[in-house]
Structure formats: structure tokens, C-alpha cells
Amino acid sequence: KRIDIIPVFNHILDRFEMNKTELIHVERKIPDERIFVWVDQDKITQVIDNIMSNAIKYSPEGGKITFQVVKEPHRLRISISDQGLGIAREKVDKIFERFYRVDKARSRELGGTGLGLAISREIIEAHHGHIWASSKEGKGTTIYFTLPLRKRKRGSRK
């Protein structure tokens, strides 16, 4: 469906700021305009929930989270940055694999299965977008994903 996406983002972030027991503040760098994308709203909400939960789970309390949306010529680029544990350089690309967890012992304490980002990648790729990460150990992590701004015509080539 064709969705006016900015209110959806704001609604998801409002919910995170309201519901959590920890004090969470999300800095929003979000354009104030109507931007339409062809997405499954529930699926995109699931992706953001996954990434936001990670940003909270793998950060010390009080760390800032930044949610940014940049409108590029043919796509929307969303990024979620935290100031948490970060991920070692050689492991960053593996976090999108099923059941991959950077530090097994630590992750077990924190709970989870290692599927959140693998599912997120499937959803974003089904929307013809990309998802990737950049991170610095001890400094923080940014997860990026994109959504095309135009509907793919059926039968059109890549």
C-alpha cells in the first residue's frame, strides 16, 4: 500500500519513548513533509522495532539514540544510531545472518535469539531496499536501511 510514512515513524518512536521502563530519548532528524512509499506498514514497523530494541539492549542506560531520515533522489534512507557497545569491524556484516550473535555469553544474558536482524533484512529486501551497518567497538552502532520512493512497475527490469 501507498503510505504517508513520516507519521508512522513518529508514532513508532513515541511508543518507544512512552513504554519503556528505562528513560529513553530519541533524537529525531526527520523531514517535516509528506513522503509516500509503497510498503507493508506492519512489516516496516517490525523492522524498526527490531533495530530500536537492539539499540536499547546493547547500550548503557542513558545513551542517546538518533533516528534520521534522509530523502535521496530515488530512495529514503533511514538510520538508527546508538552510543552502545559497538561491534568489532570483522563482525559487523555477520549480524544480519540468522542466529549470529557477537558475544554469545553476553547476548545470552540479554536474551534474544539472533533472528531480529536476519528477519529485518528479509523484509527490507522484499521491499527492494538495502540494509547495512557501520559500527565502532566501544563507540556505537548505526543501522541503515533504504526504501524506494517509486513503485516498481511489474515486469520492469532491475
59: DSSP letter? S
What backbone phi and psi angles, to 5 degrees, belong to 153? -75, 140
102 touching ligand ATP, by CB under 6 A: yes
Q: What is the DSSP string of 127-155?
A: TT--EEEEEETTTEEEEEEEEESSPPPTT
Give the residue among 46, 52, 62, 4 at the shortest CA–CA distance from 28. 52
Closer Cβ to ligand ATP, 6 or 51, answer by number: 51
Lay out the site mask for ligand ATP across 12-41 (x = CB under 6 A, - = otherwise).
------------------------------
CB of 125 to ligand ATP, least distance (A): 15
Which of 6, 129 has the CB closer to ligand ATP? 129
| 54 DSSP 8-state letter | H
The one-letter amino acid code at 75 reads R
Any idea what DSSP says for residue 101?
-
Residue 141 touching ligand ATP (CB under 6 A): yes
Among 84, 86, 116, 140, binds Mg ion (CB under 5 A): 116
Binding partner of residue 121 among ligand ATP, Mg ion, none, CB cut-off 5 to 8 Å per kind: none
Binding site for ligand ATP (CB under 6 A): 50, 54-55, 58, 82, 84-85, 87, 95, 100-102, 107, 112-118, 141
